[in-house]
């Protein structure tokens, strides 16, 4: 099946073909129960609003085009002009009734959709905590047993058909978690707990983006959602539970030494190594992700070089400093990062 076929593609290969972009980040994505309900409700609203609009325009055209009797010249008619036209009085009352009942119908439709969305994922099977940071997403898969918890960043994997609840927190300013193709959005507010539920219905790769202005690089705070078949999801999840593989080549070993002993480990954590910073994204399976720097660039060796060497030119204002690596250090660090599959 194409589903399995796509999911088994090497994760590094960003699904960049135009065809897979089609519902990549669109409210027409229809990839989850929530997004489908949105689309149905949107069509209902659109139809009723279009009818109302056409009624107004028809009345406007009729008023302009109406043939006046010869007596109704360009003058104010004495004595008569304060008396309102009985036809129009009836029209006004009917118009009020039509608009009023139309709005009542829409309000009810909206309320029903809201209730059903709230109940769709009431018994979630998967619990994830997403924490917003300027300008990246920290992702934790919650589990009762801490050895089963997975930590990653800027990328979420969801099994198709499984109701998931995503708890939302913020470490700094207000962000908004928005997955157009799957669900609506929900703000991440410091000091408050919010959540959003999603029941994915279509296997695929989707893009989400921060929707609340959160400072300089608000435009470059995206995330990828990978809706997998249940089997693929379990495979991915078990792989994520593993610590980072030990480097094998001499270059990667040099990179390992640099990353774990120098600037990098102050902010980043790599499970199974001494690097345990919590300021920046967890890098344990960094190279398996589709993008670098919260969707700023697709994952590739070239982009990795660019990012590690000078993050400030790619995402100015980012918390990751340009530290001025020597060329040999840069080669080593990139070689090591590429092993973090």
Partner 1 sequence: MSAHVPERVRREDEQLARERQKIARDGPKLKGAKLEARLERTWSRPRGIIGWLATVDHKEIGRRYIVTALLFLSLGGVLALAMRVQLAQPDNALISAQRYNELFTMHGSTMMFLFAVPVMEGVAVFIIPLMLGTRSTAFPRLNAFSYFMYLFGGLLLWGAFLLNIGPDIGWFAYTPLSGPQFSPGKRADIWAQMITFTEVSALAAAVVLVCTILKTRAPGMTLARMPLFAWAMLVVAVMIIFSMPAVALASSMLISDRLIGTNFYNAYEHGDALLWQHLFWFFGHPEVYIIFLPATGFVSVITETFCRRPVFAYPIVVLALISTGILAFGLWVHHMFATGLPRVGYSFYTSASMTVAIPTALQIFCWLATMWDGRPRFQVPMLYVVGFIVTFVIGGLSGVIIASVPLDLQLHDTYFIVAHFHYVLIGGAVFPLLGILTYWYPKITGRMMSDTLGKIGFWMILLGFQLTFFPMHFAGLLGMPRRVYTYPAGLGLELPNLLSSIGAFVVAAAVVLFVINGLFSLYRGAIAPSNPWGASTLEWAAASPPRPYNFAHIPVVESRTPLWDAEGELPVVTGLRVDEKEILLTTVVAATPDLREPVPAASLWPLIAAIAVGVLFVSSIFSPWAVVFGAIPSAIALTAWFWPKDLKRQPEPVIS
Q: Give the DSSP per-residue string, 96-109.
A: HHHHHHHHHHHHHH
- The nearest distance, CB 275 to partner 1, in angstroms, is 27
CB nearer to partner 1: pick between 27 and 142: 27
- The nearest distance, CB 334 to partner 1, in angstroms, is 23
Q: Are 34 and 199 in contact (CB under 8 A)?
A: yes
Beta strand 222-228 with 185-188 is unpaired
319-338 residues in contact with partner 1 (CB under 8 A) are: none
Residues 6+ apart with CB under 8 A from 94: none
Establish if 246 lies at the interface with partner 1 (CB under 8 A): no
Q: Which of 133, 203, 123 is nearest to 165 (CA)?
A: 123
143-172 residues in contact with partner 1 (CB under 8 A) are: 168, 172
Establish if 129 lies at the interface with partner 1 (CB under 8 A): no
CB nearer to partner 1: pick between 165 and 285: 165
Q: Are 158 and 233 in contact (CB under 8 A)?
A: yes
Establish if 28 lies at the interface with partner 1 (CB under 8 A): yes
- The nearest distance, CB 238 to partner 1, in angstroms, is 32
Establish if 133 lies at the interface with partner 1 (CB under 8 A): no
Establish if 137 lies at the interface with partner 1 (CB under 8 A): no
- The nearest distance, CB 202 to partner 1, in angstroms, is 16
- The nearest distance, CB 1 to partner 1, in angstroms, is 25
Q: Give the DSSP per-residue string, 163-232.
A: -EEEEEEESSS-EEEE-TTT--EEEE-TT--EEEEE-B-S-EEEEEEE-S--STTGGG-EEEEEEE-HHH
Among the candidate windows 32-40, 227-235, 236-244, 281-289, which touches partner 1 by CB under 8 A?
32-40
Establish if 22 lies at the interface with partner 1 (CB under 8 A): yes
Residues 6+ apart with CB under 8 A from 234: 159
The contact pattern for partner 1, residues 40-69, with x = CB under 8 A and - = no contact, is: -xx--xx--x--xx--xx-xx-xxx-x-x-
173-232 residues in contact with partner 1 (CB under 8 A) are: 173-174, 176, 178, 180-181, 183-187, 189-195, 207, 209-220
Establish if 92 lies at the interface with partner 1 (CB under 8 A): yes
Q: Are 102 and 56 in contact (CB under 8 A)?
A: no
CB nearer to partner 1: pick between 23 and 285: 23
The token duo for 202 is 């279509």
Establish if 81 lies at the interface with partner 1 (CB under 8 A): yes
Beta strand 164-170 with 194-198 is antiparallel
265-324 residues in contact with partner 1 (CB under 8 A) are: 295, 316-317
- The nearest distance, CB 84 to partner 1, in angstroms, is 6
- The nearest distance, CB 133 to partner 1, in angstroms, is 12
Establish if 31 lies at the interface with partner 1 (CB under 8 A): no
Q: Give the DSSP per-residue string, 223-274.
A: EEEEEE-HHHHHHHHHHHHSPPPPP-SHHHHHHHHHHHHSTHHHH-B-TTSS
Q: Which of 94, 126, 114 is nearest to 34 (CA)?
A: 114
CB nearer to partner 1: pick between 215 and 245: 215
């Amino acid at each position: 099946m194409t589903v399995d076929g796509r999911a088994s593609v090497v994760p590094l290969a960003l699904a960049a073909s135009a065809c897979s972009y089609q519902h990549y980040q669109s409210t027409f994505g229809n990839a989850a129960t929530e997004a489908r309900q949105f689309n149905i409700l949107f069509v209902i609203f659109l139809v009723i609003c279009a009818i109302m609009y056409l009624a107004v325009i028809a009345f406007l055209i009729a008023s302009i085009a109406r043939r006046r009797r010869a007596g109704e010249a360009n003058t104010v008619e004495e004595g008569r002009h304060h008396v309102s036209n009985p036809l129009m009085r009836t029209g006004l009352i009917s118009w009020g009734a039509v608009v009023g009942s139309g709005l009542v119908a829409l309000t009810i439709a909206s309320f029903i959709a809201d209730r059903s969305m709230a109940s769709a994922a009431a018994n979630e099977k998967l619990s994830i905590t997403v924490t917003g940071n300027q300008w990246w997403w920290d992702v934790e898969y919650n589990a009762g047993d801490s050895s089963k918890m997975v930590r990653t960043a800027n990328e979420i994997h969801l099994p198709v058909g499984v109701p998931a609840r995503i708890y939302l927190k913020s470490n700094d300013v207000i962000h908004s978690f928005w997955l157009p193709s799957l669900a609506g959005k929900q703000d991440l507010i410091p000091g408050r707990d919010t959540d959003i539920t999603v029941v994915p219905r279509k296997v695929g790769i989707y893009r989400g983006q921060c929707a609340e202005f959160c400072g300089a690089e608000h435009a470059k705070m995206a995330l990828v959602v990978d809706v997998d078949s249940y089997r693929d999801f379990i495979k991915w999840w078990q792989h994520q539970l593993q610590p980072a593989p030990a480097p094998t080549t001499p270059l990667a070993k040099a990179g390992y030494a640099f990353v774990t002993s120098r600037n990098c480990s102050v902010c980043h954590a790599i499970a199974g190594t001494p690097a345990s910073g919590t300021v920046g994204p967890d890098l344990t399976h960094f190279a398996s992700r589709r993008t670098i720097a919260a969707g700023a660039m697709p994952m590739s060796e070239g982009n990795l070089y660019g990012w590690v060497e000078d993050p400030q030119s790619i995402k100015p204002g980012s918390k990751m400093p340009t530290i001025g690596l020597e060329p040999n250090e840069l080669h080593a660090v990139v070689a090591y990062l590429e092993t973090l599959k």
